[in-house]
Each structure stands twice: as C-alpha cells, then as structure tokens.
Structure 1
Amino acid sequence: MSLFNQISSLLGGEKINQYKTVLEWVGSQGGIEGLVKQFDTAGLSELIQSWISTNANLPISAKQIVAVFSSPVINDLASKINLSATEASEMAAQYLPKLIDKVTPDGVVPKDLDLVSAGMDILKAKIFGG
C-alpha cells in the first residue's frame, strides 16, 4: 500500500484526495519554477520569492491567485477538487505559500523536486510528527 493510500485510509479520502490533486495541479503548472514565472508575469514575484526564501512568507489573496493563474485554470482546479472557483482560489491562497515554503527550506528550489512526494511527506510529518 502506498503512502498516499495509507494516509488516505487513516484520514478519510476526500480531503487527502484534494490535497494530492492540488499538488498534481501545481506540478502541471510547471512545478515551482513554472509558478515563479507565472508570478513574475503577474507582477507578484515578491510574494513567491518570500515563500521560497528563509524569510517570513508574505500573504496572498484569493483575488491575486486568480490574477496569477487566470479564471479558467482556477475553474479547472475547482472542478477537480469538487469546490467552487472561489473556494479553490481561497484554498490555494491559504496553502500554496505553506507548501512552497516547506519544500524550499533552504531558500532554494531543489533540483528534480517531486512535488507530490514532497507534499505527501510534509503531510505525513504533520500527522505522525516525523
């Protein structure tokens, strides 16, 4: 049984499936490097750079999430996780800074980062204190 399946069975599948889907969605946006480019294009590079750095994370609003990714991209994410577009952008605004911060603890984006595995490891550590 995979780590994902183990955690999913412990916590109830829907929230874990949403979490995994969000990780896969971030990966489909080009991973962290792709996100950096999208934030640069939207004029919000200082936000994502704060999450990558070892400094405090700057907050992002749901409206800024939509500005970075566009409504069609957010609508696609929302449909995959069974939320409204508003809920999906709010969820992304809440968790994206934390996720990027956790997978870049030294202030750099690791080469060949497997975002889904890294994200599931973060969740496992949070649940089991590992």
Structure 2
Amino acid sequence: MAFDNFLERLIPDEGVRNMVKSFFSPEDESGSGKAGGPARAVEQLKSGGLEEHTKSWVGTGPNKQLTEEELRGAIDQADLKRISQRAGMSEQEVIVALVSFLPEVVDKATPNGSMKDLRNMSSDTSSGRSPGMS
C-alpha cells in the first residue's frame, strides 16, 4: 500500500497530511543519504527515547499518548525546522499536529502489530518523491 494514499484516507486536512507525510518520508535535500521511510521514522523515534510509545503504537493494545515535550526530545531539531518551513507552519504547530497524529498513524499502519506493515509501505512515485527519512 502506498503511504501517501494511506495518509490521505486518515488525515482529511491536506496541509496537516502533507506535514505528517514530510515527517515520515521527507525529501532529503541535504544529500546526507538518510533513508528508510515510515519504518525508519518510527525507529528514529524509538531510539530518541520513545521506545515504550512506539511499541504501544505498533502493538495491538492501547496507544501510549505522547506529550509535546517527549516529542521535542526525540525528534531531530534540524528535521523539525525543515518540516515546519516546508509546511509553512511554526515548529510548535508541527509538534502539536505530530503529537495528535503520530500514535494513530502508526497504529493504523500496523494493524497486525508488526513493523513489517510499515516496512511494506512506500511513498507514491507519482509525486516524484522517493521514500526516505532525513
């Protein structure tokens, strides 16, 4: 399943949807070579201190809620700045939207409780973007 189509069904607001998509699979304009798409984004959150959160979102039980402070501590600040600039939103607005949507997006993208579901998702090629997480 294409991740772009999945997000379109889940998040009705186009601006918020594009911002969330950018978080999960942004274009890497820096040339740093970081890649991986939705699964890589979840792995980065996990290694950023949100292991219990991400386990609950991927698993089949209740989702552990995320606070703005927890997300700020787990997300790369350069990524946050780039995403906010691209979305035309303040960094605070990006954080608020991500706190609202991350648990649900990951939960719904992993209905079988497995990261394999996320690894099988790819970005739409029609947008001219390739999957990746910077």
Output the TM-score relative to the length of structure 2: 0.67
Q: Greater CA deviation, 86-95 or 58-67? A: 58-67
Checking the alignment, whether the CA contact within 8 Å between 2:53 and 2:65 is kept in structure 1 is yes
Select 2:66's aligned residue among 60, 64, 74. Answer: 60
Structure with the greater relative contact order (CA < 8 A, sep ≥ 6): 1 or 2?
2
Aligned-pair RMSD on alpha carbons? 2.6
Select 2:105's aligned residue among 89, 92, 99. Answer: 99
The structure with more helix, counted as a fraction of residues? 1
Q: Where does structure 2 lack aligned partners over 5 or more consecutive residues?
A: 27-34, 126-134
Percentage of identical aligned residues: 20
User: 2: CA distance between counterparts of 1:45 and 1:94?
Assistant: 18
Secondary structure of 2:53 counterpart: helix
Sort the Cα spacing of 1:95 and 1:45 in 2 relative to 1 into closer, same or farther, 3 A: same
Write the mapping of 1:1-130 to structure 2, written as runs, cut at 5 A: 15-28=13-26, 30-109=36-115, 110=117, 111-114=119-122
Checking the alignment, whether the CA contact within 8 Å between 1:75 and 1:85 is kept in structure 2 is yes
Q: Where does structure 1 lack aligned partners over 5 or more consecutive residues?
A: 118-130
* Consecutive aligned runs of 4 or more in structure 1 exceeding 3 Å deviation: none
Greater gyration radius: 1
**Equivalent pairs, count:** 107
